[in-house]
Chains A and B, each alone.
Chain A
Amino acid sequence: AQKITQTQPGMFVQEKEAVTLDCTYDTSDPSYGLFWYKQPSSGEMIFLIYQGSYDQQNATEGRYSLNFQKARKSANLVISASQLGDSAMYFCAMREGFVSGGYNKLIFGAGTRLAVHP
């Protein structure tokens, strides 16, 4: 079974509008972390936002917010006021358990390609 599922291969949004990118996850570990990364055409993966499984509040970072619904095992990324520079691939990722062995093993979803139109 897939650990991280991103069901939207591609999304379009008008500049200045908000957009939600879906992510569902599967784990039986009560301790986990959820991440969103952006990958522009240059190839670099850019960390956007993090949500811990015990965090009471939804994470926010500037125009990015994470809609964390623990019971539904979903961690959707919301981008407000989209900009042309937001056009990129977006990946949801999960770490199961706490950091162990001095490193952090992330499992990634297949990604969603977002296109922002002027």
Chain B
Amino acid sequence: ETGVTQTPRHLVMGMTNKKSLKCEQHLGHNAMYWYKQSAKKPLELMFVYSLEERVENNSVPSRFSPECPNSSHLFLHLHTLQPEDSALYLCASSQENEGAINTGELFFGEGSRLTVL
């Protein structure tokens, strides 16, 4: 496999369920990201991990809990979600060398479409 892989592609859950989204990157990158894409809204950055350390948490409710066990894997644990949390959750990775001038593009997976009933 190549690139960034996300599972599951589709998830339906009730408000009391606990589920997890998984992301795996096969690019040897050192930074991983979770973005939320809701209908008619720009992509919202949720979390960033750099070298397996969380470096950004953009005021995301605690019902979303990220985990980065190693540089290739990123999880988003979901608990007691609300219907407004229904969205496409996109994982991305990048290879960044601090101080270097590079394009810094993110490589995205196909997303996990979450529906909360």
Q: Name A residues whose Cβ lies closer than 8 Å to a Cβ of B.
A: 4, 33, 35, 37, 42-47, 50, 52, 91, 95, 98-111
On whether the beta carbons of B31 and A103 are closer than 8 Å, the reply is yes
Instruction: Give Cα distance in the complex from A101 to B33, angstroms.
Output: 14
Instruction: Give Cα distance in the complex from A46 to B48, angstroms.
Output: 19
Q: Name B residues whose Cβ lies closer than 8 Å to a Cβ of A.
A: 30-31, 33, 40-43, 45, 48-51, 55-56, 88, 90, 92, 94, 96-111, 113
* Residue in A closest to B92 when the chains form the complex, CB atoms: A45
Q: From residue A30, how far is it (CB to closest CB) to chain B in Å?
A: 13
Q: Secondary structure of the B side of the interface?
A: loop
20 extra interface residue pairs, beta carbon distance < 8 Å, beyond A99-B96, A103-B56, A103-B96: A33-B103, A43-B111, A43-B113, A44-B108, A44-B110, A45-B108, A46-B108, A52-B101, A98-B99, A99-B100, A99-B101, A101-B50, A103-B48, A103-B49, A103-B55, A104-B94, A104-B104, A104-B106, A108-B43, A110-B40
